[in-house]
Amino acid sequence: MGTIAAADYKRTTMAVLAYEGVRPFQLSVPCEIFGEVHCEGVDPELWVCALKPGLLRTSSGFSVGTTHSLADVPRADVVFIPSWRLPYQPPPPELIDALIEAHTNGATIVGLCLGAFILAETGLLDGKRATTHWAFSQEFRQRFPAVELDEMLLYVDEGELLTSAGVAAGIDCCLHIARRLYGAHQANRIARNVLAPPYRAGGQAQFIERPLGKNLRDARFRSALDEIVRNLGRKHSIDTLASSLAMSRRSFTRHFHQIMGVSFGEWLINERLLKARRDLEATNESVDQIALDAGFGNTKTFREQFLVRLGVSPAQWRRSFRGA
């Protein structure tokens, strides 16, 4: 992490931005991970820095006050931007200036959830990878086309710039930072104290359900897809489905992509993985049986697709939701 690597240990200063309308959970994540003494040897100095003077009203209605201000941000080693206000408003110029100055001084800047938007506003993310809450990915791409966004990821580490997905992924990102600063052993001790999974890789996919679209104009088309979802264990092909709808393969393929935004093959794999995920979470069926019920030809293919698309194995997914 640049100037704050564990090998060059000094007492790390961490600034957490507070602003009018901040969400208490987002604000508290870096404060809980780094503002409490969870274990010996992890003792950063944490400042909650108010964007403007005076009490700041949170999105939950209560107010917070702090003795630190935006002027302290450029002096910090790590700066956290805990999400941002909705509906989205561009940040004030003085905040952008403070973040750029902090980065110039060698600080690591962390955009948690919608904080990625603020980090992107600085221009520092141009040409780099980032993530944010999946529900705001389209808006992010429209605003910041120069940033390589991957909304499927839990967090993205670009050295001195980090971004995380929504809400709970901020915990994963903070534990990742703790791991970089203090080592895996200490980060795991922090995780145990806060009862969080000790390690979820940044490449693990956000837990996103992508249900069948609700705006399908053709009732027969929707009915056909509903039938497939109810019988994922069977074999399904474009030709068979197109024929049942009295459409040519070409017309069906074009129509499907226009409505669903993905190819039929991509949609079918996503639906099969969605069923498999639900079965892993809610049943005691073996991985082999779950693969069969979801329509995968064999367990090897199922495991490969699961790992490539979700970033973890089926067993790891089950443990994440149900424990060891």
Structural domains in the chain, CATH included, are: 2-193 (3.40.50.880), 219-322 (1.10.10.60)
Tokens read off for 221: 């088309």
Q: Which pLDDT score, from 0 to 100, does residue 324 have?
A: 44
Confidence of residue 8 (pLDDT cuts 50, 70, 90): very low
CB 132 within 8 A of CB 81: no
Residue 115: φ, ψ to 5°:
-60, -20
- 266-311, pLDDT tens digit by residue? 889 888 988 998 898 888 999 999 999 999 989 999 999 888 877 7
Query: Cα separation of 79 and 208, whole Å?
Result: 28
Confidence of residue 205 (pLDDT cuts 50, 70, 90): low
Whether 217 shows a pLDDT value over 80: the answer reads: no
Whether 188 shows a pLDDT value over 90: the answer reads: no
Q: Which pLDDT score, from 0 to 100, does residue 4 have?
A: 43
3-state secondary structure of 230: helix
Most confident region among 108-117, 165-174, 314-323 by mean pLDDT = 108-117
3-state secondary structure of 157: strand
More confident residue, 9 or 191: 191
CB 163 within 8 A of CB 116: yes
Q: Which of 11-20, 85-94, 270-279 has the lowest mean pLDDT?
A: 270-279
